[in-house]
């Protein structure tokens, strides 16, 4: 038995050193055990900290052979800083005074590399209580330490992330729907401090009426079963005020599929909603302005026609009066009948005009395109003037499209005005409807085509035709918004606009709108 082994055996209670009657390990067995342990460095120090034994685990972990370390001070394994700090002496002092020192620190291997060491130093005393040395057990826990550090880093990043999104409320819910985690964004949104809300059910964030709380309970169970839930809800702040929130619940399951509650992400969308509403209003206003612009162009023509009717009426009544004064009652009656017909013509005209001009909410419905074109024909004829022939070719069967009829009327009128302006010397404006090809998803489309025989546009001009404020018309004659708004309207209606134009030949605009089936009523 080497002195080293002998020292090591003093680690063990005296009685264990004796032969074990129950078949336990003998001292030789212990030697073998200690020597063969490779995962732990197990070695002995004398009372001053000089190394007196060395096992294979120590060799494995620290990289030194026994011959290189025996008799040297154990502080050689410490880092420079720890040595300067006096860490080895402190560790021995604690072990001497309390019987044991436990610690975790960086140690240096033979090759200069460092490893994370979990260290236990036990004071060894003989039967008389005299300190005879220390047993030192060191384990390399670098891997565990790194995993832990990674976890901490990930946790830290997660914290930064969660706390760094003040615009979103992020909170964690347990399986009972109680709040277990609360970020500053959640505080900002709701006014509740983490201390106010921790452990409270999520439902406290919603108005107390039964409906909305039932909704939230249902949302939680949806998230738990489906994994995901997303919707807009009215939320209740601590001060009792409300805000519209987009609520996103996501169930949290581990790899084994066990439910660990739910992540709840909420965003205040009141402002967004307000902006959207405002945008919608502006869009409606722009449309109305565009309509009034078109109407202005229309009224010129209509006023002219209207005055013609009034002229026929005035003169007719003048004649009737004249005849009556002369006692020619029969012929006077004829004139009055004619006058009545003129009045009817005027009424018809104003009715059409009012039907077009009245403000209507933008509402998509299933519109009969043919009927719409027909009802517009008279107005269109007046708008384009007498020099332009309007040729209408409607499909044999009624075609229906899903869009806002009012906007489609304005689009048609704008296209007619464009056609008119492209044909200063007259020409033909062809308006036709036909069934277009269906798309890949099987959605059928209906095409409304407006084609003129006017001056046309170059390729470059045609490419910009849909740009807002782009116009080929002289200054003051066009806003350059007509086609741009038509484009917007058709897009919004899930349709598309095609434009073909050739200089000197004319322009063809196709509005393709999704076809629909009219409801029976």
Polymer length of the chain = 521
Nearer to another protein, 342 or 484 (CB): 342
Measure the CA–CA gap between 134 and 119, rounded to whole angstroms: 12
Return left, alpha or beta for 261; rule: phi > 0 is left, psi -120 to 50 is alpha, else beta: left
Q: Identify which of residues 166 and 385 has a Cβ nearer to another protein in the complex.
A: 385
Nearer to another protein, 16 or 334 (CB): 334
Q: List residues binding another protein (CB under 8 A).
A: 300-301, 303-316, 318-319, 322, 335, 338, 342, 385-387, 426
User: C-beta of 384: minimal distance to another protein in Å?
Assistant: 12
Nearest distance in Å: CB 432, another protein: 24
Residue 243: partners with Cβ closer than 8 Å, 6 or more residues away:
189, 234, 235, 237, 268, 270
131 membership: H or E segment, kind and range: strand 131-140
Cβ distance to another protein smaller for residue 66 or 343: 343
- Minimum CB separation of residue 313 from another protein in Å reads 7
Look at residues 42, 51, 3, 14 and name the one whose alpha carbon lies nearest to residue 126.
Answer: 14
User: Tokens standing for 320?
Assistant: 């009737």
96 or 473: whose CB is closer to another protein?
473
Residue closer to another protein (CB basis): 188 or 304 = 304
Whichever of 119 and 309 has its CB closer to another protein, that residue is 309
At closest approach, how far in Å is the CB of 300 from another protein?
6
Q: With contact defined as beta carbons under 8 Å apart, do 50 and 71 qualify?
A: yes
Beta bridge partners of 430: 391, 451
CB 427, min distance to another protein, A: 13
Enter the tokens of residue 148. Answer: 């832990």
Q: How far is the CB of 267 from another protein (least distance, A)?
A: 55
Enter the tokens of residue 30.
């212990």
What Cα–Cα distance (Å) separates residue 144 from each residue in 60, 140, 202, 520?
18, 9, 37, 73
Cα–Cα separations (whole angstroms), residue 91 to 74, 110, 181, 388, 398:
11, 21, 40, 106, 97
Q: Give the residue among 314, 294, 418 at the shortest CA–CA distance from 357.
A: 294
Q: Within 10 A of 275 (CB to CB), how many other CB atoms are there?
A: 11
Query: Which structure tokens are listed for 473?
Result: 């018309």
Residue 280's beta-bridge partner residues?
none
Tell me the closest approach of the beta carbon of residue 294 to another protein, in angstroms: 17
Contact between 364 and 302 under an 8 Å Cβ cutoff? The reply is no
239 with 196: CB under 8 angstroms?
no
> Which tokens belong to 515?
């076809």
Cα–Cα distance, 34 to 16 (Å, whole number): 15
Residue 4 or 335 with smaller CB distance to another protein = 335
Q: Which is nearer to another protein, 149 or 391 (CB)?
A: 391
Cβ distance to another protein smaller for residue 386 or 441: 386
């Amino acid at each position: 038995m080497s002195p080293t082994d002998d020292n090591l055996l003093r680690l063990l209670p005296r009685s264990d050193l004796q032969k074990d009657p129950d078949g336990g390990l003998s001292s030789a067995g212990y030697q073998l055990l200690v020597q063969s342990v490779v995962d732990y460095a197990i070695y002995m120090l004398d009372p001053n900290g000089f190394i007196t034994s060395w096992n294979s685990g120590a060799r494995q972990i620290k990289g030194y052979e026994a011959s290189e370390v025996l008799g040297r001070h154990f502080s050689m394994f410490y880092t420079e800083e720890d040595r300067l700090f006096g860490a080895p002496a402190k560790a021995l002092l604690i072990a001497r005074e309390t019987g044991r020192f436990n610690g975790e620190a960086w140690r240096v291997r033979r090759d200069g590399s460092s490893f994370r060491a979990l260290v236990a130093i036990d004071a060894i005393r003989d039967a008389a209580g005299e300190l005879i040395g220390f047993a030192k057990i060191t384990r390399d826990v670098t891997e565990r330490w790194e995993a832990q550090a990674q976890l901490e880093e990930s946790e830290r990043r997660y914290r930064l992330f969660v706390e760094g999104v003040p615009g979103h409320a992020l909170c964690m819910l347990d399986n009972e729907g109680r709040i277990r985690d609360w970020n500053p964004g959640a505080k900002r949104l709701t006014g509740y401090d983490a201390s106010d809300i921790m452990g409270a059910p999520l439902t406290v964030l919603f108005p107390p009426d039964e409906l909305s709380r039932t909704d939230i309970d249902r949302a939680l169970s949806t998230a738990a079963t489906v994994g995901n839930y997303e919707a807009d809800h009215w939320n209740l702040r601590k001060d009792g005020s409300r805000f519209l929130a987009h609520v996103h619940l996501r169930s949290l399951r581990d790899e084994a599929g066990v439910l660990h509650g739910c992540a709840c992400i909420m965003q205040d969308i009141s402002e967004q909603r307000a902006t959207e509403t405002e945008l919608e209003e502006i869009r409606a206003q722009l449309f109305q302005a565009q309509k009034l612009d078109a109407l202005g162009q229309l009224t010129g023509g209509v006023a002219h026609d209207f005055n013609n009717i009034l002229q026929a009426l005035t003169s007719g009544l003048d004649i009737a009066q004249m005849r009556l004064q002369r006692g020619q009652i029969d012929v006077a009656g004829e004139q009055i009948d004619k006058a009545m017909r003129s009045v009817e013509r005027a009424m018809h005209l104003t009715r059409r005009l009012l039907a077009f001009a009245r403000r209507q909410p933008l509402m998509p419905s299933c519109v009969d395109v043919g009927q719409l074109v027909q009802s517009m024909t008279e107005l269109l004829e007046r708008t384009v003037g007498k020099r332009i022939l309007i040729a209408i070719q409607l499909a044999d069967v009624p075609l229906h499209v899903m869009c806002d009829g009012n906007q489609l009327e304005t689009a048609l009128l704008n296209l007619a005005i464009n056609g008119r302006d492209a044909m200063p010397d007259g020409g033909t404006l062809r308006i036709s409807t036909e069934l277009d090809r269906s798309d890949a998803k099987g959605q059928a489309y209906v095409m409304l085509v407006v084609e003129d025989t006017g001056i046309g546009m170059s390729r470059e001009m045609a490419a910009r035709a849909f740009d807002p404020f782009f116009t080929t018309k002289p200054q003051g004659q066009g806003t350059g918004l007509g086609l741009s708004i038509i484009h917007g309207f058709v897009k919004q209606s899930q349709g598309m606009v095609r434009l073909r134009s050739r200089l000197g030949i004319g322009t063809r605009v196709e509005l393709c709108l999704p076809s629909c089936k009219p409801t029976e009523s």
